[in-house]
Amino acid sequence: MSTEMFEVDGLNELRLKQPFPENMTTKQALQFSIMKWEYIVEHIHEVEITGGSKTCALCHKFLHGKIECFGCPVAEVTGATTCDGTPAGMSNFKALELAEVELNFLKALAAQPPK
C-alpha cells in the first residue's frame, strides 16, 4: 500500500487512482485512510478539496450510503456518528489546515490494540 493510490485532479480535488478493495479489514481501511492524509500533508499546496467520504477507506467500509458509521474506529473513539469533531469532518479549508492533526489522530488510532 502506498500513497500512489491518490492523485490531485485538474480542479485540485483529491481522487482515487484505483478503487478500495471490497473486503478490506478495519485495519486495512484505517491504513488506507492514513495514506490519504499522508498524501494530503505531502501535497498540501496542490490539494484544495480532500474528496471527503469518496476518498476515505473507512467511509467506504462503514458508511455505505448510510447517515451513521457504526463500527468505524473513528466514530467509536469520538462518540460521534460521523467524523464530526475531527479535521476530516470539517470544511475543506479547516481540514487542510488541520491535515497533520488528522494524520496523527489516525496513526494513534492505528497504534491502539484491536477491541
pLDDT in tens, 53-62: 899 999 999 9
pLDDT in tens, 61-88: 998 777 778 889 988 888 887 787 787 7
Strand, helix or coil at 84? coil
Phi-psi region of 10 (alpha: psi -120 to 50; beta: other; left: phi over 0): alpha
The structural domain count of the chain equals 1
According to the model, what pLDDT value does residue 57 have? 94
Domain of 57? 3-111
Smallest CA-to-CA distance from 60 within 107, 88, 21, 4 is with 21
Following DSSP, what letter does each residue of 39-68 receive, concatenated? HHHHTTTT-SB--GGGG-HHHHHHTTT-S-
Q: Is pLDDT above 60 for 113? A: yes
Bridging pattern class, strands 6-8 and 14-16:
antiparallel
Q: Is pLDDT above 90 for 17? A: yes
pTM, entire model: 0.85
